[in-house]
Amino acid sequence: MTKFVEWSTELSMGIEEIDAQHQILVELLNQIHEAIQQRRGIEVARNIIDRLEEYTRVHFAVEESLMRILHYPEYEKHREDHDSLIDQLSGFRDKLEEGKGSLNFELAHFLKLWLTKHIMEVDKRYVAYFLSQGIRPELSKSSWKQRFWRPFGRI
């Protein structure tokens, strides 16, 4: 069966660690879509959104620290983009907690569009710069998820 978000070379940045983290985000979006299709309850919805928000924060923190360490010239602009998604995600999580929101296809499509566009148009802008500053494509081969972060079992 086709996945809601398919991982493809178009999404690959060519930096192993970043790709591994983006793949986790893609997997979480697929889980959200599956939960909507299966009409899972509010507890499941909350759980996935919590994990998505938490992992998105972890991932953005990694990207942003690399940008700061390497003095990436577009850091501020990039961070604003991250902050705006985090604001939207936490707003959505608050709504769920107040019993006002629900997981729906509109949200799933918004997240899919946001993530794929952000990777292809915003993240890809830092790749050449990072590589020129000595970041190796095989950066941290044992990925973040294996070392620190493994909450992504199936629901």
3-state secondary structure of 97: helix
Residue 7: what are its φ and ψ, rounded to 5°?
A: -75, 135
* Residue 53 or 63 having the CB closest to Fe ion: 63
User: Which DSSP category does 153 fall into?
Assistant: -
Residue nearest to Fe ion (CB): 123
Give the interface segment with Fe ion, choosing from 21-29, 44-52, 59-67, 135-143 (CB under 5 A). Answer: 59-67
Decide if 57 contacts 86 (C-beta within 8 A).
Answer: yes
- Are 5 and 26 contacting, i.e. CB atoms less than 8 angstroms apart? yes
Nearer to Fe ion, 3 or 77 (CB): 77
Which span sits near Fe ion by CB under 5 A: 11-19, 45-53, 62-70, 99-107? 62-70
**What binding mask, one character per residue, do residues 12-51 give for Fe ion by CB under 5 A, x or -?**
----------------------------------------
| Subset of 108-127 contacting Fe ion (CB under 5 A) | 123
Minimum gap (Å) between residue 122 Cβ and Fe ion: 6
| Number of residues counted as binding Fe ion (CB under 5 A) | 2
Whether 85 and 47 have beta carbons less than 8 Å apart is answered as no
Shorter beta-carbon distance to Fe ion: residue 48 or 63: 63
Alpha-carbon distances, residue 45 vs 40, 55, 93, 97 (angstroms): 7, 15, 9, 10
Q: Which is nearer to Fe ion, 53 or 123 (CB)?
A: 123
Q: Which of 103, 101, 63 is nearest to 81 (CA)?
A: 63
Determine the interface stretch with Fe ion among 1-9, 15-23, 40-48, 58-66 (rule: CB under 5 A).
Answer: 58-66
Q: How far apart are CA 155 and CA 103, in angstroms?
A: 15
By the criterion CB under 5 A, which residues form the site for Fe ion? 63, 123
